[in-house]
Every structure is written in C-alpha cells, then in structure tokens.
A and B are shown apart, each in its own frame.
Chain A
Amino acid sequence: MSNTTSQAKNQSESRLNVLIIDDNEQITKMISSFLDLSNHDCTIVNDGKDGLELIKTKQYDSIVLDLAMPEFDGYEVLDTLKKEDPSQISKIIILTASSVPLETVKKFKELGVSSCLQKPVDIDQLLSKITSVTG
C-alpha cells in the first residue's frame, strides 16, 4: 500500500489535514491534487486497515472514506471506530459509488458520520463538506 503525503508548503490557520481512504488510485490522485491546489494537506491510503492505523497514530481534521474496498472495507472501518474510537466518526465523509439505501444513510447519520456523498461528486461540494467538518 502506498502512502503519499503532499508536502506542506506553508502553515496557515485554515490549512486542513485530510485522510483519504479509497482503493481507486485515479480518484484519490484527483482529490489530492485538488486539495493540494486548495492549500490543504492530504494523505492517501488504499485500504481500510491502513486507514485505521493512521487514524490511531495521527490527528486528521477530516477523513474521506470509500465503502467498497477489497480487503477491509468502509463498513468495517466504521465498525472498528465505533468500538475503539467513536470520537473520530464525526470527521468521516463517506464517498461511495454504490447506491446506498435511505435507511443505511439514516444509520450512518445516527452513528455520527458527517456526510454521505455519491460518486461522481462535485469536487466543490466535497471540499465544502471537508471544510464544514472542522468549521
């Protein structure tokens, strides 16, 4: 699994540290270049397990989480966080291509997930959700 951290060029108040957990490299690359251009820091992991490791060791302002991943999926990440570190759940933005039924969306909301977006997402909307987690 490749971890890419975009280098912080200058420190500013509004600079956010975002973790992206998604197995599709083209999507993660696109989101990270957009965040990079918008002066935010971004870490990418391609699997839920690696994501959990990072959430445990580092502090993120916002976490973008894909649901369908081959090894350790988004649901498992949510389950683990619910048991081990529920305070992190409010930072999570679910970004999924599968159509999520309304009941499931409601369950995510009850769990405390910040928002649930469908791929393909408007990147400005994604950014506004990312900033609203901390704002």
Chain B
Amino acid sequence: MIKIKQALFLVFGITSFIMFYIGLLNYLTTQDKGMGLIFLIFSSIVAFGTLFAGLYISKNITKPIESLAQRMNEFSKNNSIKKISVDDKGIQELQSLHKNFEDMANIVGGALEKEKQLNLKLHEIDTRKTEFMSMISHELKTPLMPIMGYLQLLKKQELMGELNEKQLDAINEISISTEILQKLIQDVLTAQKIDLGKLSVEKNIVESKTLVENSYKAFNQICENKGTKWVMSLKTTEMVYSDPDRIAQVFSNLISNALSFIPEKDGLIEIGTQDNSDYVTFFVRDNGVGISEDQQKNIFKKFYQVDTSSKRKKEGSGLGLSICEGIVKALGGKMWVDSTVNQGTTFFFDLPKAKIPIERFQSFKNTAKSKKMISKKFA
C-alpha cells in the first residue's frame, strides 16, 4: 500500500532534484561559466517551483480524499453523515465528488432510516399478532373446558343419574359439535404457529414403518365400517427423524380427506413408504374424485377448499393441508401431490433418514416459516 502524498513527494522531489542536479552538473562542466550560472539559477528556480507545486497539489488532492474516506467510514457506521462546508478553492473534481457522495449518502441514509422504522413497526405488529393469538387461544379454549367436562359427566349415568334416549341423543349431538369446534380452534392455532415459524416439533429417531402402522391401526375401524379397501404397503425399513404425534396428525388429516373424496362403493385408500435416497417418502393414495392441475396449485394454501360443490359433505376449515405441509417442513421434509381427475389422488411427504447426520438437512434450519410452493420432485 502506498499513500498519494508519499508518491507525489517522491515524483516531485526526484524531478526537482534531477533538475537542480543537471543545472549544477552543467555549471561545473561548462566552459562558459556565465551561461552556466544563469542556467543553474534557472534550473534551481524550476526545481523549487516543482517542489512547491508538488506540495500544493499533494495538499489539495490528498486532503479532500482523506476527508471523503473519513466521511464514508462515518456513513457506514452511522448510516448518516454530518454536512460540512467544502472549500471552494479546492480541486473541482474532488469537490463534486464530495458533493455527489453527500447527496448519495443522504438518499441512502434516508432509505435505510425508513426501512429501519418499517422493520420496527413490522416487528411490533408481529409481536401484537402473537400476543393476540395467544390471548384468543386462551379465551377460546377456556369455555370449552366446562362444556366438554359437563358433557362427559352427563354421560356418566352411574354418577349423574340415568338419561332417557332423547336426552342421550341430544348430548351426543352436542358432543359432536363441540369436538368439531375444538378441532377447529386447534387447527387455527397450529396454522398460526406455523405462520410464525413457532411450531415446536421433536426430532426423534423413529422407525418409518411404525409411523405408518400407528395410523393404519387408528383408521382400521373407520375404514371397515365404511367398507373401504384399506391397504398398507411398506417398501423400506429405514429410521427417520420425526415427531410421531405430529406425523399422526398429518396422516389423520390426509386419510380423513381421502375418506371424504372416495366413492361410496369400492373406495380404496393405501398408505405406505418408499425409499428416496436421503429421505423416506410416505404416501396416502386414494381412488377418489381427484384434484385438477389448477386446484393442485392452491390446495396447500390456507382456507382453500377444493370442492365447494355439493359433491361431498363440506366440512373442515381448509387448514388441514397447510398444517400438514407446515409440520412436514418443520421436520425437514417436503410435501407434494400427484392426482388425476376421476382417478384418484396421492399425497407424498418426505422425512429425512436418521442415518444421515442431521446437519446435512439444511431445511432443519429454516422451519415452517418459508412460504415457498411445494416442489414437485417427482412431477
């Protein structure tokens, strides 16, 4: 590294020294001492002139550059600069450099300040939203507790006294609606947590087949009652990183969806696993009405209902799939769909294999917050 000041001193210093030296050499070697003296005096004046010019230029170039560097430094630290009066007598180009930098710094500084204010405001809104949801969660769940408790109590006829058939019917109807209400509240809260990237999931090492078997057992009775062909197909014995309760929730949402879309007669639902390099792919396949390509783009969005016609009994909040996707992403996996209208739908999701070091799954870092569309790995 070299300073302009030093370079200028060197150049002008050497130049003036050479001039003086030539004059001196000429004076010492020439025959005509008179002319030699005149030349010596002349070269000395030129040499001194060069030296002073060098000093002057160096002062006028380096000083504004140094002060500009200082101001840049100040700007990068504080995102703002103090206004200073620039000397009118200095070099014009450097003065306009100062002026332009000042203008730029003011514009950028203003924009940065605006962004900072905006971020603060967003953060405040986000905090308020979280606080609000936590309040709502408390306020909605609290009154449900005595409702559900008393319903349970009323059903304990040995404790509360016998009920006639009509009363039991009424109580059962209240129970069903209460459960729907509870699930709805739970879904809204889970979706909210996913939005905020605050869904807490365990990353335990679990057998992939256990995850499927548990859900298979859970829906065995329901499928049998409905006369649905209920199939399990396990193609791998790999262990995965997973949260069994959350995955049960994913399977439950997917299977419930499948149950409402399969035909009344000859309905088929298949769940299982496939090997997929670093991941195990889980799937839920049905032979239901299918989802058109247009609809496939939207199904993972919140509150989106595929079929708003009378084809099926409309229930649920439209949150199910967005929750499934959020859970899978929080666990480091992906979710996607493959479907043909009138033939059926298959939902897939990946979970990372446990034999791969957990750090290799980058997506563990960015949790469910990311809003990117599902990547269609096999499409």
Whether chains A and B associate is yes
Q: Within 8 Å of chain A (Cβ to Cβ): is B184?
A: no
Q: Within 8 Å of chain A (Cβ to Cβ): is B89?
A: no
Considering only residues 105-134 of chain A, those with a C-beta below 8 Å from chain B are: 118-124
Considering only residues 126-176 of chain B, those with a C-beta below 8 Å from chain A are: 134, 137-138, 141-150, 152-153, 156, 159-160
A34 and B145 alpha carbons, distance in the complex (Å)? 13
Which of A42-50, A52-60, A93-101 binds B? A93-101
Given the known interface contacts A99-B193, A119-B141, the answer about A30 and B150 at a Cβ–Cβ threshold of 8 Å is yes
Cβ B153 vs Cβ A26 within 8 A: no
State which of B152, B159, B189 has its C-beta within 8 Å of the C-beta of A122.
B152
A34 and B151 alpha carbons, distance in the complex (Å)? 11
The digit string for A23-45, where 1 denotes a CB below 8 A from any CB of B, is 01011011101100110000000
Within 8 Å CB of B182, what residues of A?
A: 120
State which of A30, A68, A98 has its C-beta within 8 Å of the C-beta of B146.
A30
A18 to chain B, nearest CB (A): 15
Q: Within 8 Å of chain A (Cβ to Cβ): is B74?
A: no
A118 and B141 alpha carbons, distance in the complex (Å)? 9
A23 and B122 alpha carbons, distance in the complex (Å)? 34
A57 and B143 alpha carbons, distance in the complex (Å)? 32
The digit string for A81-109, where 1 denotes a CB below 8 A from any CB of B, is 00000000000000001110111000000
A99 and B188 alpha carbons, distance in the complex (Å)? 13
For the complex, count residues of B whose C-beta is within 8 A of A.
Answer: 24
Within 8 Å CB of B159, what residues of A?
A: 37-38
Cβ B142 vs Cβ A24 within 8 A: yes
Cβ A120 vs Cβ B134 within 8 A: no
State which of A68, A97, A124 has its C-beta within 8 Å of the C-beta of B152.
A124
Cβ A26 vs Cβ B200 within 8 A: no
Cβ B200 vs Cβ A120 within 8 A: no
Q: Within 8 Å of chain A (Cβ to Cβ): is B202?
A: yes
State which of A120, A123, A124 has its C-beta within 8 Å of the C-beta of B141.
A120
Cβ A37 vs Cβ B146 within 8 A: no
Cβ B202 vs Cβ A102 within 8 A: yes
Within 8 Å CB of B150, what residues of A?
A: 30
A43 and B148 alpha carbons, distance in the complex (Å)? 22
A36 to chain B, nearest CB (A): 10
A102 and B198 alpha carbons, distance in the complex (Å)? 11
Cβ B134 vs Cβ A99 within 8 A: yes
A26 and B146 alpha carbons, distance in the complex (Å)? 6
A46 to chain B, nearest CB (A): 14
Most chain B Cβ neighbours within 10 Å, of A24, A34, A103, A119: A119
**Can you report 21 A-B residue pairs in the complex whose CB atoms are below 8 A from each other?**
A26-B143, A27-B142, A27-B146, A30-B145, A31-B149, A38-B159, A68-B138, A97-B138, A97-B145, A98-B138, A102-B202, A103-B200, A119-B141, A119-B142, A119-B144, A119-B145, A120-B147, A120-B149, A120-B182, A123-B153, A124-B152
A37-B160, A124-B152 known; 11 new pairs, CB 8 Å cut-off, are A30-B153, A31-B149, A37-B159, A99-B193, A101-B198, A101-B200, A102-B202, A119-B144, A119-B145, A120-B182, A123-B149
Which 4 residue pairs spanning A and B have beta carbons closest together? A120-B145, A97-B141, A30-B149, A37-B159
